[in-house]
Amino acid sequence: MKILVTGGAGFIGGNFVKYMVNKYSDYDIYNLDLLTYAGDLTKHQDISTKKNYHFVKADIADHEAITTLFDKEKFDFVVHFAAESHVDRSIADPGVFIRTNVLGTQILLDAAKKIGVTKFVHVSTDEVYGELDFDTTSFFTEGTPLQPNSPYSASKASSDLLVRSYHETYGLPVNITRCSNNYGPYHFPEKLIPLTISRVLSDQKIPVYGDGKNVRDWLHVFDHCTAIDLVMHKGVNGEVYNVGGHNERTNLEVVTTIIKALGKSENLIEFVEDRLGHDKRYAIDPTKIEKLGWKSTYTFETGIVQTIQWYLENKEWWQQIISGEYQKYFENQYSI
């Protein structure tokens, strides 16, 4: 069985590729990635010599390259992670989000339709639903209307609608997963949790947008991987599955948890100008995927301890990232 994983050099795709290569020695896992600023292959040093791991450098928005590859390899499954994924970058420069997330998805769908894949799993986000109020009783369900607020979430919602249309129009066997915020090993240090860990470890200020009261629902990346594995094998064609583990925290709670765990001072927190269009709260109702047989294994408390430990033990990986191009990004993005 041949599985194409797009964006497998990134954070979640990278964890998923490792998980699949180790779990299914009889599946051939093809990691297709353009290796943008967010992709790196050092994370796969431990699996790169395994017989069932393959890497292809390609751009999902390159119609000819993708069509040729699909015609040659005749993949059975496509699990599609490749995307521009950072909200702040989408606010600064939306164009590449449309090219990769919308056009790239449509090109993959066409290629998958042409060869007749068994399943196309589209990895999406709860951000397509927009935002919830600051209460504790409302949750995103699969029936919540799509009301994306950032160029990133609008590009993801557009790709979701294309995936849906290929199912409705052409009968392509698809699933869409919409997961809450992930964290864990190999999370790129532009996102809140790894940014906070890396800066606390360097005794540098942590930029918290607005008043820090915005809420996110955090899921450990391992639990996202098991959810996608389940949907890939058992998902009912055409269905959407929300993925989340009921771990809602304000940004300030997340940052102070990390500071405390590392024994540092809360004086490191610096409140900075709020993100434009900053969504107030995300929270997932995971009932549908739980009925399919999924259950998360990490609470936020256990997951954050494991993650901090990983960053302590893998300084080389993130220090190499923050010493390069990232410096320029940080200076443009923040004035601290």
Annotated catalytic residues are 126-127, 152
Residue 209 engages ligand TYD in binding (rule: CB under 6 A) = yes
What type of residue is 98?
A: I
**Rounded distance between C-alpha atoms, residue 63 and residue 67, angstroms:** 6
What type of residue is 118?
A: T
- Identify which range of 57-65, 67-75, 206-214, 273-281 contacts ligand NAD by CB under 6 A: 57-65
Which one of residues 31, 52, 90, 100 is an interface residue with ligand NAD (CB under 6 A)? 100
Residue 36 engages ligand NAD in binding (rule: CB under 6 A) = yes
**Rounded distance between C-alpha atoms, residue 16 and residue 29, angstroms:** 10
B/e letters for 16-47, b = 16+ CB within 10 Å, e = fewer, are bbbbbbeeeeeebbbbbbbebebbbeebbeeb
Which one of residues 85, 247, 256, 257 is an interface residue with ligand NAD (CB under 6 A)? 85
Distance of closest approach, residue 263 Cβ to ligand NAD, in angstroms:
27
Distance of closest approach, residue 162 Cβ to ligand TYD, in angstroms:
21
Distance of closest approach, residue 203 Cβ to ligand NAD, in angstroms:
26
Nearer to ligand NAD, 156 or 199 (CB): 156
Q: Mark residues 98-137: x for contact with ligand TYD by CB under 6 A, - for none.
A: ----------------------------------------
Residue 249 engages ligand TYD in binding (rule: CB under 6 A) = no
Residue 198 engages ligand NAD in binding (rule: CB under 6 A) = no
Which one of residues 79, 154, 162, 179 is an interface residue with ligand NAD (CB under 6 A)? 179
Q: Which residue's C-beta sits nearest to ligand NAD?
A: 10
- Interacting residue ranges for ligand NAD, rule: CB under 6 A: 6-7, 9-13, 33-36, 38-39, 59-61, 81-85, 100, 104, 123, 125, 156, 179, 181-182, 188
In the complex, which residues of this chain contact ligand TYD (CB under 6 A)? 87, 181, 191-192, 195, 207-209, 214, 216, 251, 275
